[in-house]
Amino acid sequence: MTEQQLESRQRIDTINPNDTPFAIRMRRLRTVSRNALDELLKSRTATIGAIMMIMLLVTCILTPVLATHPPTKPNYRVRLQPASADHYFGTDKFGRDIYSRVLWGGQRIVLISIAAVVLGLALGIPLGVFAGFFGGRFDSISMRCVDGLIAFPGLLLYLLIITVAREWKLEGFWNDSILVFALGLNTMPEIARLTRGTSMVEAKKEYVEAAHVVGEGSLHIALREILPNIVSPLIVNATVRLGYIILIIAALSFLGLGTPPPTPDWGSDLNVAREHMESNPMIAVYPGLAICYSVLAFNLFGDGLRDILDPRIQER
Amino acid sequence: MPGKKISNTFGKQTRREFLATTSAGIAAASAAAMTSMPGAALAAKKKGGTLRFSTRADARGLDPQRNIIYYVSHPLAATSGGLLDIDGNMDIVPAIGEEWTVSDDMKTYTFKIRKGVTFHNGADVDAPAIKWNYDRVRDPKTSHSFHRSFFKLVKEITAVDKHTLRIELDSPSAVFLASVTYYPINLIAPNSVDQVDTHPIGCGPFKFVSWKRYAKTEMVRFENFWQTDAAGNSLPYLDAIVGYPKKEDKVRLTALRTGEVDLIENMSYADAANFKKTQTANYNTWDIPQVGAGYLAVQAKQGPFAMSAADGKLMRQALAHAIDREAIHQAIFNGLSESLSGFYSSASTWHMPDIKNVKEYDPEKSKAILRKLNAMNTPIAVVARQAYSYMHQTGEIVYSMLEEAGFKPTNEKFDNPVLRKKYKKADYGIDSTANSYRFEPDQWYSVNVLSTGPSTMLRTGYKNEAADKLINDARQTRDKQVRMEMYTDVESMVNEDCALIYTHGIPLTSAGTKKLKDYKPAFAGPFNISNGGVRVAYLEG
Amino acid sequence: MLIYTINRILQIIPVIFILSVLVFGFVHALPGDVIDTLTATDGEEDPEVRAALEKEFGLDKPIYVQYFIWVGSALQGDFGKSLVTRRPVNIELIERIPATVYLALVGIGLSILIAVPLGTLAAVRRNTLTDYSAQITSLAGISIPEFWFAILCILLFALQLGWLPSSGYAPLFSEPGKSIWYLILPALAVGFRQAAFTTRLTRSSMLDEISKDYVDTARSLGLSERKVIYKYTLRNAMIPTITISGLQLASLLGGTVVLETIFSWPGIGLAIYDAIQLRDFPVIQAGVLVLGVMVVVINLLVDLLYRVLNPRVGMS
- Contact (CB<8Å) B271/A166: no
Give percent above pLDDT 70 in chain A.
73
Name the pairing type of β-strands B164-169 and B154-161.
antiparallel
Cis before A70? omega within 30: no
**Would you say residue A15 has pLDDT above 70?**
no
What does the pLDDT read at residue C41? 55
- Contact (CB<8Å) C40/B197: no
In this predicted model, which residue has the larger pLDDT, C197 or B101? B101
Q: Among A147-161, B12-26, B447-461, where is mean pLDDT lowest? A: B12-26
Name the pairing type of β-strands B283-298 and B500-513.
antiparallel
Which of the residues C36, C46, C85, C268 would you substitute to probe the B interface, choosing the one with the greatest number of B C-beta atoms within 10 Å? Answer: C85
What does the pLDDT read at residue B8? 36
Assess contact for B286 and B275: CB atoms under 8 A. no
Which of the residues C42, C48, C97 would you substitute to probe the B interface, choosing the one with the greatest number of B C-beta atoms within 10 Å? Answer: C42
Q: Which residues on neighbouring strands pair with residue B285, listed in sequence order?
A: B511
Q: What is the mean pLDDT of residues A171-177?
A: 69
Q: Is the ipTM of this complex over 0.85?
A: no
Q: What is the mean pLDDT of residues A9-17?
A: 47
Assess contact for C304 and C3: CB atoms under 8 A. no
Give C34's contacts in chain A (Cβ within 8 Å).
Answer: none
**Would you say residue B1 has pLDDT above 50?**
no
Q: How far is CA B318 from the centre of its chain?
A: 33
What does the pLDDT read at residue B20? 39
- Residues with Cβ within 8 Å of B231's Cβ and at least 6 positions away in sequence, in order, are B37, B40, B43, B44
pLDDT tens for each residue of C82-109: 887 778 888 888 888 889 999 999 999 9
User: Within a 13 Å sphere around the CA of A193, how many CA atoms are in the beta-carbon half?
Assistant: 26
**Closest alpha carbon to B501 in B291, B319, B337, B254:** B319
- Contact (CB<8Å) A260/B412: yes
Give A101's contacts in chain B (Cβ within 8 Å).
Answer: none
Give B389's contacts in chain A (Cβ within 8 Å).
Answer: 272
Distance from the C252 Cα atom to the nearest Cα atom in chain B, whole angstroms: 20
Taking each helix axis from N to C end, the angle separating A281-309 and C129-143, rounded to the nearest 10 degrees, works out to 130
pLDDT tens for each residue of C199-252: 888 888 888 777 777 777 777 777 777 777 777 777 777 778 887 888 788 878
Distance from the C59 Cα atom to the nearest Cα atom in chain B, whole angstroms: 17
pLDDT tens for each residue of B307-340: 999 899 999 999 999 999 998 998 888 888 899 9
What does the pLDDT read at residue B24? 38
Alpha-carbon span B262 to B502, nearest angstrom: 35
Alpha-carbon span B56 to A302, nearest angstrom: 42
What does the pLDDT read at residue C172? 83
**Closest alpha carbon to B435 in B497, B504, B491:** B504
Distance from the A158 Cα atom to the nearest Cα atom in chain B, whole angstroms: 16
Assess contact for B140 and B148: CB atoms under 8 A. yes
Alpha-carbon span B177 to C293, nearest angstrom: 53
Most confident of A160-164, B509-513, C50-54: B509-513
**Closest alpha carbon to B156 in B110, B209, B97, B124:** B110
pLDDT tens for each residue of A70-91: 887 777 777 788 888 888 888 8
What does the mean pLDDT of chain A come to? 76
Give B399's contacts in chain A (Cβ within 8 Å).
Answer: 262
List residues in chain B touching C: CB distance below 8 A. Answer: 60-63, 66-68, 140-141, 144-146, 148-149, 197-198, 212-215, 244-248, 250-251, 254-255, 257-260, 387, 415-418, 420-421, 447-448, 453-455
What does the mean pLDDT of chain B come to? 86
What amino acid is encoded at C162 in this protein?
G
Cα–Cα distances (Å) from C89 to A126, C25, C141, in that order, read: 40, 19, 37
Sign of the dihedral through C-alpha B28, B30, B33, B36: negative
Cα–Cα distances (Å) from B470 to B149, B154, B532, C131, C233, in that order, read: 21, 22, 35, 79, 86
What does the pLDDT read at residue A134? 73
**Closest alpha carbon to B15 in B43, B36, B50:** B43
Assess contact for B448 and B435: CB atoms under 8 A. yes
Q: Which of B270, B393, B400 sits opposite A73 (nearest CB)?
A: B400
Distance from the C131 Cα atom to the nearest Cα atom in chain A, whole angstroms: 12
- Contact (CB<8Å) B258/C159: yes
Neighbouring chains of C at 3+ CB pairs under 8 Å are: A, B
Split at pLDDT 50, 70, 90, the class of B450 is: very high
Q: Among A64-73, B255-264, C110-119, where is mean pLDDT lowest? A: A64-73
Q: What is the DSSP string of A132-183?
A: HHH-HHHHHHHHHHHHHHHTS-TTHHHHHHHHHHHTTT--HHHHHHHHHHHH
Alpha-carbon span B510 to B442, nearest angstrom: 28
Q: Which one-letter DSSP state was computed for residue B63?
A: -
Split at pLDDT 50, 70, 90, the class of B480 is: very high
Assess contact for B132 and B72: CB atoms under 8 A. no
Cα–Cα distances (Å) from B230 to B33, B40, B235, in that order, read: 10, 10, 10
Count the Cβ atoms, other than its own, within 10 Å of residue C82.
26
- Contact (CB<8Å) C52/B245: no
Sign of the dihedral through C-alpha A210, A211, A214, A215: negative
**Chains A & C: contacts with CB separation below 8 Å:** 178
Which of the residues B68, B251, B456 would you substitute to probe the C interface, choosing the one with the greatest number of C C-beta atoms within 10 Å? Answer: B251
**Would you say residue B18 has pLDDT above 80?**
no
Helix (H) or strand (E) holding B287: strand B283-298
What does the pLDDT read at residue B11? 37
Q: How far is CA A308 from the centre of its chain?
A: 17
- Residues with Cβ within 8 Å of A231's Cβ and at least 6 positions away in sequence, in order, are A309, A310
> What is the separation, in whole angstroms, between the first and last Cα of chain C?
9
**Backbone Cα Rg of chain B:** 24
What does the pLDDT read at residue C14? 84
Which of the residues C258, C261, C290, C310 would you substitute to probe the A interface, choosing the one with the greatest number of A C-beta atoms within 10 Å? Answer: C258
Cα torsion at C131, C136, C139, C143 (round to 10°)? Answer: 180
Distance from the C245 Cα atom to the nearest Cα atom in chain B, whole angstroms: 29
